[in-house]
Amino acid sequence: MNRTPGQFKILASENVADPRLRRTFQSATGHALGQRAQSVQRVPEWEDLRDRAHRIKEEAVEHLDSYLEKLEASVIRRGGRVFWARDAKEASRYVVELCRRLQASTVVKSKSMAAEEIGLAEALEAAGVEPVETDLGEFIIQVAGETPSHIIAPALHMTRQQIGNLFHEKFGIPYTDVPAELCAFARQRLRRQFLSARLGVSGVNFAAADTGTIVIVENEGNARLCTSLPRVHVAIMGLEKVIPRFSDLPLFLRLLARSSTGQRQTSYVSMISGPRREGEWDGPEEFHLVLLDNGRSDILADPRVRRSLYCIRCGACLNTCPIYQRVGGHAYGSVYSGPIGSVLTPLFQGLEVAKDLPYASSLCGSCSNICPVKIDLHHQLLWLREKLASRRATPWQERLAMSLFAAGMKDPALYRMGSALLRLWLKASGKSKRPFAVPGWSPTRDFPALAETSFRQWWADHRQQGEGP
Amino acid sequence: MNGSREVVLSRIRRALLRPGPGHGQEPASPSSVQSPPGRMGSAQLFEQFQEQSARVGGEPRLCSDIEDALRGIRDLVGAAGYRRVAVSNHEICRGHNLAEALSDLLPEVSVWREEGEAPTPGSRRRNSRQLAQADLSITGADFLIAESGTVLIASAGCSRQISLLPTAHLALATPDQVYPDLAAVFRQLGTAPEEGRLPAALTMITGPSRTADIEKVLIKGAHGPMRQLTWVIGGEG
Amino acid sequence: MNVSLFIPCLVDQFFPSVGINLVKILRKAGVSVDYPREQTCCGQPAFNSGYHEEATQLARRFLEVFGEAETIVCPSGSCTSMVKVFYPEILQDPGLGRQLQEVTARTREFSDFLVNVMGIKDLGVAFPHRVTYHDACHLLRELGVHRAPRELIRHVRGIELVEMENSDACCGFGGAFSVKFPEISTAMAQDKSAAILQTEAEYVVANDSSCLMQIGGYLSRQGLPVKPLHLADLLGENL
């Protein structure tokens, strides 16, 4: 299942033609949107919260160096260790080295987009360590050899029957498609792993610079297990997850849960400040925080797309996006899908690799409208399009058409003449009333015929007849 | 290990030479106060807590005193057929000698107490295995949040796993522990790093463990407890 | 009051009735109407495809043509938002500062202009039909215009406005998007049409000819009876 962002066009048209997949995504995203709308409705100051969260993220990102240094110092003060990784390879290698030192043969993992991004599971496997995904959705797709199709619900694309068959085939259990039974099986199987693993890996939703606290938001409890049972806990975070203050957390927690699942609060929020302290009952002996760059400093270098670093990975923009709703997450060929994926993937993997993604939007703006930290997502896509066009990475026909378009439009006489000539020609060839045949458009939709008289002509005629102003 | 610390930091500094849209603006103010500094009447707050906790599948309840709570535990254990109960070393449990009281009250049930002042790695592992077998755990709570029906437990006074591994979790609290929202709890904690009152782990628990990863169907008890009960002892009720 | 018409190229070439009816409406509203003949295109097609160089040239032209206008009124939320929202993003020339500010501030989408500037909701029009209204994305989310068109519709005699489900969901046009990703674009038009059909309306009304071209193009290909109608046509034809 090695999909790449370059395949978007093909994958998207395949998925759109698959009625089952379309129904699955439309009903799942619709459900999530409904839940969100209900819970947001109860927060009259919602817009104010979004504004404040935007400003706090802006503050953190615009002073990223100093907040990261502060975070580092706070984590160390609380007995943790900090590793700066410039890319995916360095970050993965660090975790692999830890496994070697601990002689760990398995690693329990909770859901982490950063870990997905760096391909940690593959790196561990290559080093002979078994990565165990413990989030139910991640577990399912790991067993299926799939990749996540949604930031929040990785197995969104699968039906209960598919999962039932999968468990039956891979684990030899009697077939069932009752979700609670499938879940109970996974719980039992993963319990054993939790109790024996020496290393637990988690992601990070927020990291407070002043206290060195990392925050993990979840519903299942697997992240709590990953961070409290094993001897060592490694948390992997993209650089941009740092927030200035511990006291900013209530604001972000209010926004995150409501935006992603419509909950007031998720079942669990873990606020972890360093390893187990002297006298505490349990908890890891070592706490490691991996600060991952992996292209983020490049994004930071372009002020026009810098705001994409404010993202708190709530998934609301996926749910509301009419494109995502119809093509699903896999079409994007990357761990990040939907509008935020269309922005981040070209920035992380290179514009040329993900050329179609910035155009995979009707610019309807519902992503920017729903974003809890007010990222102007669809404007960011426009900036990426500009980057592509100015690098001449767009098709030559399009570039030619655009220069002709601009030349014609810059000169009103040319525009007038062109429009008159076109009409003369259509009339002469008897095609005036015939709709235009437009490639890409006409197979499914009628295109209108050119009006016999343009507005411009009408205005001129009526002015002459004294009916004008 | 330093990793690429200097490389990454210098990349960031170089990147920030080009100011972004909000650069040089007034720094954002810390999230402002979201609740009045004083506490609402605890009865009202508990009412709100009760409503919110129940909404997410939690089982909140007001007990008149410890006797009432013990009777409640007896009924709970009886009704659900629990065989193994784990009691935490949280001060609320210790204060009421809960483990002893339950052993007397429920002779047919095995009551296990988390003990050892400074557990060793080996004993921690044994504790985990014990707890994974338990049907019910009883812990104290450090704060309750009315707005969301949330229980907060700090790792300083209670293990992380006892509220996580058993099938059901009961948190005992007192009326003065109910706060309007998280911001109010934070103010109480005193979050300035030098105060050092922040425990290594502060866990917010809102209802039972859940997942909707299979066709968006809500299932309780994904990895943590299937039932989450919060009883406030000694309320006006 | 003097109004300068800003007629998008799509309206000019394919849907001139929208412009003609807008002239009628504005005159009825008691303003004097002018059409600067030097205008061409606002540059949005180039801008949306990433050709900011070309778009910037057209934006500069627009400022020249409309620099002196008292008020600029346009029958398209999309082209209006190009001027009001995106010109300030692409025209970074500080020399243009003042002119840019004035032109963007004076440009209004026509329903917004009628209701929120002129205070006119009732044009004395009758149209005894069942209609539903589609919120064009740019009008709604870039410009925040939601109520004005509905006010105008509600004041039409005999009209019945039935809201469709997800009236704010995109129709799938999106300019070049509609031909770059025809399958997705058509799927969006299909869902939009289903929502429209559910209302059992005879007309689907919107304030953007491009949305109507997309929705109408799909409806007519499917042989469905609902007719697309620009609000300016609805009001102007029945004055």
Note whether B164 contacts A: Cβ–Cβ < 8 A.
Answer: yes
ipTM confidence score: 0.96
- Let me know if chains C and B touch, i.e. at least 3 Cβ pairs under 8 angstroms: no
**Which of A52, A374, A423 lies closest to A244 in space, CA to CA?**
A52
pLDDT of residue B20: 77
Write out chain B residues lying below 8 Å of A165, CB-based.
none
Note whether B123 contacts A: Cβ–Cβ < 8 A.
Answer: no
Radius of gyration, CA atoms only, chain C: 17
Whether residues C217 and A441 touch (CB distance < 8 A) is answered with yes
pLDDT of residue B156: 84
Q: Which of B31, B200, B204 sits opposite A273 (nearest CB)?
A: B200
Q: Which of B2, B14, B222 sits opposite A187 (nearest CB)?
A: B222
DSSP state of C32: E
Write out chain A residues lying below 8 Å of C82, CB-based.
none
Give the pLDDT band of residue A378 (cuts 50, 70, 90): very high
Q: Which of A440, A441, A469 sits opposite C32 (nearest CB)?
A: A469
pLDDT of residue A394: 85
**Per-residue pLDDT for A375 more than 90?**
yes
Q: What φ, ψ does residue B153 adopt, rounded to 5°?
A: -130, 130
Strand pairing of B150-154 and B201-205? antiparallel
pLDDT 10s digits, C79-114: 999 999 999 999 987 788 889 999 999 999 999 999
- Let me know if chains C and A touch, i.e. at least 3 Cβ pairs under 8 angstroms: yes
**Per-residue pLDDT for C36 more than 90?**
yes
The distance of A390 to chain B (nearest Cα, Å) reads 20
**Per-residue pLDDT for A97 more than 70?**
yes
- Span C31-37, average pLDDT: 95
Minimal Cα distance from A153: which residue of B? B213
The distance of A384 to chain C (nearest Cα, Å) reads 8
User: Where do the H-state alpha helices sit in C33-131?
Assistant: 44-48, 52-66, 77-81, 87-90, 97-106, 110-112
pLDDT of residue B235: 62
Work out the burial of residue A468: count CB atoms within 10 Å of its CB; fewer than 13 is exposed, 13-18 middle, 19 or more buried: middle
User: How many Å apart are CA A94 and CA A168, to the nearest integer?
Assistant: 36
- Span A340-365, average pLDDT: 96
Whether residues A267 and B207 touch (CB distance < 8 A) is answered with yes
pLDDT of residue B122: 81
Whether residues A459 and C35 touch (CB distance < 8 A) is answered with yes
Give the pLDDT band of residue C180 (cuts 50, 70, 90): very high
Whether residues A281 and B121 touch (CB distance < 8 A) is answered with no
Whether residues C172 and A362 touch (CB distance < 8 A) is answered with yes
Q: Which of C138, C181, C186 sits opposite A12 (nearest CB)?
A: C181
The distance of B119 to chain A (nearest Cα, Å) reads 6
The distance of A63 to chain C (nearest Cα, Å) reads 24
The distance of C211 to chain A (nearest Cα, Å) reads 11
Work out the burial of residue C62: count CB atoms within 10 Å of its CB; fewer than 13 is exposed, 13-18 middle, 19 or more buried: buried
Minimal Cα distance from C64: which residue of A? A410
pLDDT 10s digits, B165-193: 999 999 999 999 999 999 999 988 875 55
Whether residues C137 and A445 touch (CB distance < 8 A) is answered with no
Element (H, E) at A71: helix A64-77
Note whether A262 contacts B: Cβ–Cβ < 8 A.
Answer: no
Note whether B35 contacts A: Cβ–Cβ < 8 A.
Answer: no
Note whether A309 contacts B: Cβ–Cβ < 8 A.
Answer: no
Q: Which of A384, A409, A456 sits opposite C37 (nearest CB)?
A: A456
Give the pLDDT band of residue B32 (cuts 50, 70, 90): very low
Whether residues A322 and C170 touch (CB distance < 8 A) is answered with yes
Chains touching chain B, criterion 3+ CB pairs below 8 Å = A
Note whether B159 contacts A: Cβ–Cβ < 8 A.
Answer: yes
Write out chain B residues lying below 8 Å of A90, CB-based.
3-4
Note whether B195 contacts A: Cβ–Cβ < 8 A.
Answer: no
Whether residues A86 and B211 touch (CB distance < 8 A) is answered with no
Whether residues A58 and B28 touch (CB distance < 8 A) is answered with yes
User: How many Å apart are CA C153 and CA C232, to the nearest integer?
Assistant: 11
pLDDT 10s digits, C206-217: 999 999 999 999
Whether residues A250 and B132 touch (CB distance < 8 A) is answered with no
pLDDT of residue A469: 47
Whether residues C7 and A22 touch (CB distance < 8 A) is answered with no
pLDDT of residue B177: 93
Using a pLDDT cut of 90, give the percent of chain C over it.
96
User: How many Å apart are CA C7 and CA B6, to the nearest integer?
Assistant: 56
Q: Give the contacts of A180 (CB within 8 A, at least 6 positions apart).
A: B217, B219
Using a pLDDT cut of 70, give the percent of chain A over it.
99
Q: Give the contacts of A7 (CB within 8 A, at least 6 positions apart).
A: A331, A333
pLDDT 10s digits, A185-240: 999 999 999 999 999 999 999 999 999 999 999 999 999 999 999 999 999 999 99
Write out chain A residues lying below 8 Å of B181, CB-based.
250
Give the pLDDT band of residue B108 (cuts 50, 70, 90): very high
A-B Cβ pairs (cutoff 8 Å, strict):
296
- Let me know if chains A and B touch, i.e. at least 3 Cβ pairs under 8 angstroms: yes
Q: Report the Cα A254 to chain-centroid distance in Å.
A: 20
The distance of A298 to chain C (nearest Cα, Å) reads 20
| A contact residues 8-37, partner C, Cβ 8 Å cutoff | 9, 12-13, 16-17, 22
Q: Which residue has the higher pLDDT, B158 or A227?
A: A227
Give the pLDDT band of residue B35 (cuts 50, 70, 90): very low
| A contact residues 380-439, partner C, Cβ 8 Å cutoff | 382, 384-390, 394, 398-399, 402-403, 405-406, 408-412, 415, 419, 438-439
Work out the burial of residue C220: count CB atoms within 10 Å of its CB; fewer than 13 is exposed, 13-18 middle, 19 or more buried: middle
- Span A23-32, average pLDDT: 92
pLDDT of residue B28: 54
Whether residues A84 and B2 touch (CB distance < 8 A) is answered with yes
Helices A64-77, A46-62: inter-axial angle, 10-degree rounding: 90
Whether residues B193 and A211 touch (CB distance < 8 A) is answered with yes
Q: Give the contacts of C116 (CB within 8 A, at least 6 positions apart).
A: C108, C148
Tell me the three-class secondary structure of chain B, residue by residue.
Answer: CCECHHHHHHHHHHHCCCCCCCCCCCCCCCCCCCCCCCCCCHHHHHHHHHHHHHHCCCEEEEECCHHHHHHHHHHHHHHHCCCEEEECCCHHHHHCCHHHHHHHHCCCCEEEECCCCCCCHHHHHHHHHHHHHCCEEEEECCEEECCCCEEEEECCCCCCCCCCCCCEEEEEECHHHEECCHHHHHHHHCCCHHHCCCCCEEEEECCCCEECCCCCCCEECCCCCCEEEEEEECCCC
Write out chain C residues lying below 8 Å of A449, CB-based.
14
Minimal Cα distance from A361: which residue of C? C177
| A contact residues 79-108, partner C, Cβ 8 Å cutoff | none
Output the CA–CA distances (angstroms, integers) from residue A403 to A22, A418, C59, in the order listed: 38, 15, 15
**Per-residue pLDDT for B36 more than 60?**
no
**Per-residue pLDDT for A22 more than 60?**
yes
The distance of A57 to chain B (nearest Cα, Å) reads 9
pLDDT of residue B23: 54
Whether residues B208 and A261 touch (CB distance < 8 A) is answered with no
- A56-70, A271-285, A419-433, B182-196, range with greatest mean pLDDT: A56-70
pLDDT of residue B116: 61
